[in-house]
Amino acid sequence: MEAITPEMKVADVVRRWPQTAEVFRARGCHDLPTSVMARIMTVRSAARMEAIDLPSLVEELNKIAGRARA
Buried b or exposed e, range 18-56, using 16+ CB within 10 angstroms: eebbebbeebebeebbeeeebeebbbbebbeeeebeeee
Question: Nearest to residue 48, comparing CAs of 68, 27, 70?
Answer: 27
pLDDT of residue 47: 95
What pLDDT, on a 0 to 100 scale, did the predictor assign at position 22? 93
Please check whether residue 14 lies inside any domain of the structure.
yes
Range of the domain at 55: 10-64
Tens-digit pLDDT profile for residues 2-27: 899 999 999 999 999 999 999 999 99
- Does residue 4 lie in a domain region? no
pLDDT of residue 69: 47
Number of domain units in the chain? 1
